[in-house]
A and B are shown apart, each in its own frame.
Chain A
Amino acid sequence: MSVIGKYFIFLGTLFGKGEKLSVYWRRLMEECVGIGVSSIFIVAIVSTFIGAVSCIQTAYNLVSPIIPISTVALIVRDMEILELAPTITCIVLAGKVGSNIASELGTMRITEQIDALEVMGINSSSYLVLPKVIAAMFTFPMLVIFSAFLGIMGGYLAGTLTGVITERDYLYGIRDSFVPYNIFFMCVKPFVFGFLIASISSFKGFFTSGGALEVGKASTQAVTNSCISILIADYLLAQLLL
């Protein structure tokens, strides 16, 4: 409980006395590149293959004469939008971005860089962490939209190239019974997950003490705790919003 309390106090310090807006804007842009742009490649690879595998495996399991083959595309689309793109992508990002944030801040802590900021009278948590949290909340939804698109494209490529489903059926299936609200739901999830990943990882890194071994531990804990929090939040959001 004391750790949770410390986490909320830490979140409070992010909004304490800050620096000039121009400083935050520059830091935010740096973090958007570091967190968002540099994650495009891994998100693209993971999403395309997950979409492809979803299509092949769904088709494999749907061998019934009363179910039209276009249902495969419908299922791929809904799986991508509702769960695979937001949740799996964010779990992948928890590994990549979360460990990066925790190790960066942990190293800054043990090499006294954070102390140097504090001695200068700079709100170190606000300066270092707030741009990361905002950047994650801003870029994760974009990455998830990109991921959903590539997942559906991956399903299309795998389905049509292997002959599991025709192009016509796939295109019909992804437009069939479409619920626009699901897109909103898909965007809310990474917004929340981005906050959780960036803040938990920052918390773990920011309070690292010791040496290289502790930085490694903080990094591992950041990923583990972020993944657990994503899964809990995923369930709560599904209950609340669907």
Chain B
Amino acid sequence: MIEINNISKAFNGKAVLKGISAQFQKGETNLIIGGSGTGKSVLLKCMIGLVKPDQGSVLYNGRDFYNCDKEMQQSIRREMGVLFQGGALFDSKTVEENVRFPLDMLTSQSPEEKRERVAFCLQRVGLEQAAKRMPSEISGGMKKRVGIARAIVMNPAYLFCDEPNSGLDPLTSVKIDELIKEITEEYQVTTIIITHDMNSVMEIGQNIMFLYQGDKLWEGVNSEITKTTVPELKEFLFSNKLLREMQE
């Protein structure tokens, strides 16, 4: 379980996050939604240690990420898998080398063990045929899947996905969503997804948190979200004509 308490962050005096608190349960897909510039990605970066919050704490199964020694922080980091928005694959390495990279750097596994684990992860995301290709030779959707394979290669306890559907066609988006949900349930991972994709919200959002201008305005499950009375959330959910008509 991940618990965030009273997270605040400001850049150049402008408050981006205003005392956000939440709990994210194990084995569930937790979505953080909101429009562009509402602080979703900053919150994610605060949680994974890329941006230090001005105030508040982030607890990983009770371990305070920002108030522990470096060794503990490193051990928490090694339990994280992160899928970045663009995949963040290393350009100079093949798909296989990208997935193997955390094993090379952080474990003392034998080459055979690493090979097996990489093959398993690539097969899990359906990319065993692309192992020898370079990131520049694969599509955006495949990059995301390689990113997922790299994120799960170390058997993470926590999986963070920053806009996993951005730049993908609707069909590929659904496949990526399903893959993340399957992995979350199969390995009992605490998954946090940053998104503004309504399909993801409805398909895989077990717990949803809505951010608006750095504030948490709503939190709940996807079956309740369409019944919301929060005007900002309603505006966000029914921003397109088709959905507005369906609501009416």
Contact = CB atoms under 8 A, between A and B. Distances in A.
B187 interface: no
Interface of A: 17, 19-20, 23, 107-108, 111-113, 115-116, 118-122
Interface range for B = 20 to 34
B74 A121 contact: yes
Contacts, number: 46
Given A112-B88, A119-B80, 20 more contacts: A20-B105, A23-B104, A23-B105, A107-B91, A108-B91, A111-B86, A111-B88, A111-B91, A112-B85, A113-B88, A113-B89, A115-B50, A115-B88, A116-B82, A118-B49, A119-B49, A119-B77, A120-B78, A121-B78, A122-B105
B84 interface: yes
Contacts of A118: 49-50
B46 to A, nearest CB: 13
B90 A113 contact: yes
B106 interface: yes
Interface string B49-64: 1100000000000000
Interface of B is mostly: mixed
Given A112-B86, A113-B88, A115-B84, A120 B77 contact: yes
Most buried by A among B86, B88, B90, B101: B88
Nearest to A110: B86
A242 B104 CA distance: 48
B106 A119 contact: no
Nearest to B81: A119
4 closest residue pairs by CB, A with B: A121-B77, A112-B88, A116-B88, A112-B84
Contacts of B84: 112, 115-116
Contacts of A20: 105
A112 B143 CA distance: 13
B70 interface: yes
